[in-house]
Amino acid sequence: MTTQGRSTLREVKDDACWKEMKLSDTFDTANREQYRPAFHHTPLYGWMNDPNGMFFKDGTWHLYYQYNPYGSKWQNMSWGHSTSKDLITWEHQPVALEVDGLGHVFSGSSVVDSAGTAGFGKDAIVALYTSCDASQYQSMAYSTDGGTTFQRYAGNPVLTLESEARDPNMFWDEKAGQWVMTLAHALDHEILFFTSPDLKVWTLQSAFGKGEGAQDGVWECPDLFKLKVEGTDEEKWVLICNLNPGGPFGGSATQYFIGDFDGKTFTSDTDASGRIPTKWMDFGKDHYATVSWSGTPQNRRTVIGWMSNWQYAAEVPTTQYRSANTLPRDLSLFRAPDGEIYLASAPAAELTALRGTLACKAKKATAGKKPCVFELPAAQRGICEILLDIDARKADSVSIDITNKAGERVALTYNPAAHTLAFDRRNSGLKDFSKDFPAVTVAPTFENGRKISLRIFIDRSSIEVFGNNGHFVSTNLVFPTQPYSKLSVTSHGGSTKISNLNIFSIKEQ
Ligand code: FRU
């Protein structure tokens, strides 16, 4: 019996190998797994879900995460910790926070308290997380060594509510001169807004969400920040609200609202019909619990998500570890042809440093009924980055197939009249571990002119498709039994022009 991928005691017993028991104070961390990603963040061993408490300070990106250091299924929730200088290579750090008397250490956020408002000194790192036992409380921990070790605040919990509420996310509101916290009122399907002068005493100011957006499942892992609309000086607030289940393709997904925030209350924009639209950040099945780093340089709003889905995260065919994070993405806002403002998620600029050799290049090619076929690099078992521009002004639809020698295939279909890109992984490789895994996901392409540019990252068990510099994204896990080795473009109902095709191998990390 699994509850949303979280194992029960009975199941843990069934999972474990009872034929032989050995005592050890270390874990085997040598990577022998076929599906462990080559350029995505994964824990060294054990189970991982949501990214937590991310902050940037002195050139280092800190990434904490929901972690079970004792097994590869959900249990013993702790904060694992990794650091990076370039958002590509991650160094594993000791576990930052482990279960205490108040329970599991659930998701939360951290800030650099540069003025020392919480009383732990200037530049202390202050983290708020949810303590989860029979109830859920918000607790505090702080670090005076830059995020390596944390002390628990003696006055924990700092916030208790009568109903389930979790995943506190804070930021400093420059204008009001106070801290703001968003908290997911999980079962009530709303986000609560609190303010505080010192991160310890929190006053409830407002709530947003009841009856709005996708309302299934539970609301979790909120985030709130301001961004400029591309090409204008207009600023809008974005409220991120992950939910599970209830995503557009089943299970977990990230929805967001665009609107205004006056320091206390969030008001969502409405569409032409006067309704608050439901918007999704990623149109694949494996993008969840996405939140942003605090303290990022140059006003960047950089996010990372958990690259899995509670429907099958505990069943995916890996053993030593479970789950990776998505590639880091930088957010911006753009106005689409329908007049609405949407969130774009572009691959972080640092990711171009992943590129190795240019394995295949075509300045121009024309696809018809007969496909244009391009080889994917064989080095490092097929991992690569693919860039290509597609002009489908003369075509009804375009098939972009990623295939291997075992006959497995990821089928992308661009439909210019419907403005969609579908991602079909029903025959992509291993899929029988969960009835919810085989799926076709569909992204709106938000273009107007039957042309799209794609940037596709293929790792050992994932494909992320970024369209038009992140105006649409599909993130999906795949488990091919052999490396993908070919990209074929076929045009239906007329020809399709391909240009600027570049396929890069990925440098060994
Ligand atoms: C989201 C979530 C959070 C919670 C954490 C527990 O995936 O359910 O709401 O804090 O995972 O691991």
What does each of the 509 residues of the chain score in pLDDT, given as a tens digit? 345 555 555 555 555 555 666 777 777 788 889 999 999 999 999 999 999 999 999 999 999 999 999 998 999 999 999 999 999 999 999 999 999 999 999 999 999 999 999 999 999 999 999 999 989 999 999 999 999 999 999 999 999 999 999 999 999 999 999 999 999 999 999 999 999 999 999 999 999 999 999 999 999 999 999 999 999 999 999 999 999 999 999 999 999 999 999 999 999 999 999 999 999 999 999 999 999 999 998 889 999 999 999 999 999 999 899 999 999 999 999 999 999 999 999 999 999 999 999 999 999 999 999 999 999 999 888 999 999 999 999 999 999 999 999 999 999 999 999 999 999 999 999 999 999 999 999 999 999 999 999 999 999 999 999 999 999 999 999 999 999 999 999 999 999 999 999 999 999 87
Among residues 445, 466, 472, which one has the least CA distance to residue 351?
466
- Give the integer Cα–Cα distance in Å for 14 and 1: 11
Strand runs labelled E in 156-313 = 159-160, 166-173, 178-185, 190-196, 203-208, 218-228, 235-244, 253-261, 266-268, 279-280, 288-292, 302-306
Q: What's the gap in Å between 212 CA and the centre of ligand 1?
A: 21
Among all residues, which ones are annotated catalytic? Answer: 50
The residue whose C-alpha atom lies closest to atom 9 belonging to ligand 1 is: 220
Task: Report the pocket of ligand 1 as residue ranges, CB < 6 Å.
Answer: 49-50, 66, 77, 106-107, 130, 166-167, 220-221, 289
Task: Give the three-class secondary structure for 461.
Answer: coil
- Give the integer Cα–Cα distance in Å for 487 and 367: 12
Which of ligand 1's atoms lies nearest the C-alpha of 106?
10
Which of ligand 1's atoms lies nearest the C-alpha of 74?
12
End-to-end Cα separation, the chain, in angstroms: 38
- Give the integer Cα–Cα distance in Å for 406 and 396: 29
Task: Give the three-class secondary structure for 380.
Answer: helix
- Give the integer Cα–Cα distance in Å for 303 and 329: 5
Among residues 51, 79, 3, 441, which one has the least CA distance to residue 245?
3
- Give the integer Cα–Cα distance in Å for 445 and 338: 12
Q: Using CA of residue 479, residue 424, residue 451, residue 227, what is the dihedral sign? A: negative
* 86 φ/ψ sector (left φ>0, alpha ψ -120 to 50, else beta): alpha
Q: What's the gap in Å between 413 CA and the centre of ligand 1?
A: 33
Which of ligand 1's atoms lies nearest the C-alpha of 288?
7
Q: How far is CA 205 from CA 182, 192, 265, in A?
A: 10, 8, 7
Cis peptide before 245 (omega within 30 of 0): yes
- Give the integer Cα–Cα distance in Å for 375 and 372: 10
Q: What is the pLDDT of residue 97?
A: 98
Question: CB–CB of 320/48 below 8 Å?
Answer: no
Cis peptide before 157 (omega within 30 of 0): yes
Q: Exposure pattern of 139-150 as b/e (b: 16+ CB <10 Å)?
A: bbbbbeebbeeb
Query: What type of residue sits at position 359?
Result: A
**Which of 106, 137, 164, 218 to mutate to test ligand 1, by most ligand atoms within 8 A of the CB atom?**
106
pTM of the model: 0.95
Q: Are strands 46-57 and 321-322 parallel, antiparallel or unpaired?
A: parallel
DSSP string, 389-420: EEE-TT-SEEEEEEEETTS-EEEEEEETTTTE
What the block records as the tokens of 26 is 């270390």
Q: What's the gap in Å between 77 CA and the centre of ligand 1?
A: 9
Per the listing, tokens 């079962």 go with 187
Q: What's the gap in Å between 334 CA and the centre of ligand 1?
A: 30
Query: What type of residue sits at position 485?
Result: S
What the block records as the tokens of 177 is 């001169």
Cross-strand bridge partners of residue 111: 126
